[in-house]
A = this chain, B = another copy of it.
Amino acid sequence: MLSPTTLTAAFDRVTDYWSPKVVGRVNDQLLKVAKLKGKFVWHAHDGEDELFYIVKGSLRIEFEDGPVELSQGDFLTVPSGVRHNPVADEECWVLLIEPASTKHTGDEVTSRTRSLDEQLS
């Protein structure tokens, strides 16, 4: 029997900022939840869009041509190859939708980079 997931409850698995956890899948895309606070890392995902949906709080995504502000309940797809840097002035809860192949920080590897195995744990 299939069992639904309550989106807000799925955040219970998240214990660290900037450390997404996989909570669902539809076709070749993974649904991940993450808690964000502070500035992340400028990066891009070549060949892969990344959708941000704001579950709680607000998020500013910096792009090379300026920032976009997302409020609770907003979503935005960052197109493939577009460099961006998420910045959360206060704690923000996001749902991410992206392919299983997406690397957390694109080709930028930092101490904050989380592998897919870490995201599945």
Point out residues on A near B: beta carbons under 8 Å.
1-8, 24-29, 31, 48-51, 53, 63, 65-66, 68-71, 73-80, 82, 97-99
A interface secondary structure, majority: strand
* A78 contacts B27, C-beta separation under 8 Å: no
Q: From B5, B48, B63, B82, give the contact of A76 (CB < 8 A).
A: B5
Q: How far is the CB of A74 from chain B (nearest CB, A)?
A: 4
Provide 17 A-B residue pairs closer than 8 Å at the C-beta atoms, listed in order of the A residue. A1-B65, A2-B76, A2-B82, A3-B68, A4-B75, A4-B76, A5-B74, A5-B75, A6-B71, A6-B74, A8-B73, A24-B75, A24-B77, A27-B28, A27-B80, A28-B28, A29-B97
